[in-house]
Structure 1
Amino acid sequence: MTTVLIVEDDPMNFRVFSKILTKRGGFTVKGSENVAEVLDLARSKAVDVILMDVSLSRSHYQGKAYNGIQITQLLKQDPTTASLPVILVTAHAMAGDRESLLAESGAEGYIAKPVVDHQAFVQQIQAMAGGIENPSLEI
């Protein structure tokens, strides 16, 4: 079974994403905004794809505040986690944000909040978890 790690600091968003992913996608879901735990889960191969909130407000690592972009950069710089698909989730949905956030972070996907099309949301995560390069879905 595919496991999705949701890195999200808003409990309501976590519950909504978790429910959509378990009910519509049949995924197993884990959640954390603790950077060390995210890195440990990724390194241990306990997750198949990460759904990463860009604007984390309470995440710290080695004494510094970290946002989703910085955590994704850590994952992509580590050879043991570099191939783990990361999908950024953000309310920053202005023109050009998708491209700049993907380039800055190294993430493979981007989803704008709020998630309106639940089926497209599930399909994008299924595509990433299945190892499909550059799925054409953009939501």
Structure 2
Amino acid sequence: MAKILLVEDNEMNRDMLSRRLMRRGFEVIVAVDGELGVITAESELPDLIVMDMSLPVLDGWEATKRLKQIPATCNIPIIGCSAHAMVGDRERGIEAGCDDYDTKPIEFARLLGKIERLLEKYARD
């Protein structure tokens, strides 16, 4: 069972997504801001991170950059998510260290496909 860290400050989004992921057999841990996301990733070493980019305390862009600089977390795949789908955001996410990027509102089937592809890819590496 893969462990997913969901870094999301919106309670409704966090609850809905975590329940749906758990129903698919994933272990889900949550963090409500970017700073807690970094701390939780270091202590829990999840198999994958779903990172909201608009977070309090430390935004998802900076949290992702930090995670990619820490030896223990640098190889954990990160899917960045944002409701602010501006031109260039996907590229900005990839530049920050995201392995993939998705937009909100979350289309669960699309996100699940990205999660499964990244878990499979990183399991082989």
TM-score (norm 1): 0.78
Q: Mind listing any 5+ residue stretches in structure 1 that lack a counterpart?
A: 60-65, 134-139
**In structure 2, how many angstroms separate the alpha carbons of the residues matched to 1:121 and 1:15?**
16
Equivalent positions of 1:107-122 (< 5 A) are 107-116=98-107, 118-122=108-112
Query: What stretches of structure 1 move > 2 A for 4+ residues in a row?
Result: 33-46, 129-133
Per-residue deviation, residues 81-103 of structure 1 (Å, max 9, x unmatched): 11011110101212322112221
Q: Mind listing any 5+ residue stretches in structure 2 that lack a counterpart?
A: none
Question: CA offset at residue 11 of structure 1?
Answer: 0.1
The AA in structure 1 aligned to 2:106 is V
> Do the aligned residues in 1 keep the contact of 2:31 with 2:40 (CA within 8 Å)?
no
TM-score (norm 2): 0.86
Question: CA offset at residue 71 of structure 1?
Answer: 0.6
Larger radius of gyration: 1
The number of residues matched between the two structures is: 123
**In structure 1, how many angstroms separate the alpha carbons of the residues matched to 2:2 and 2:55?**
24
Question: CA offset at residue 38 of structure 1?
Answer: 2.8
Name the counterpart of 2:7. 7
Name the counterpart of 2:20. 20
**2:70 counterpart of 1:71:** no
**2:47 counterpart of 1:48:** yes
Q: Percent identity?
A: 34
Per-residue deviation, residues 81-137 of structure 1 (Å, max 9, x unmatched): 11011110101212322112221x111010100013x2221121122223359xxxx
Aligned-residue CA RMSD (Å): 1.9
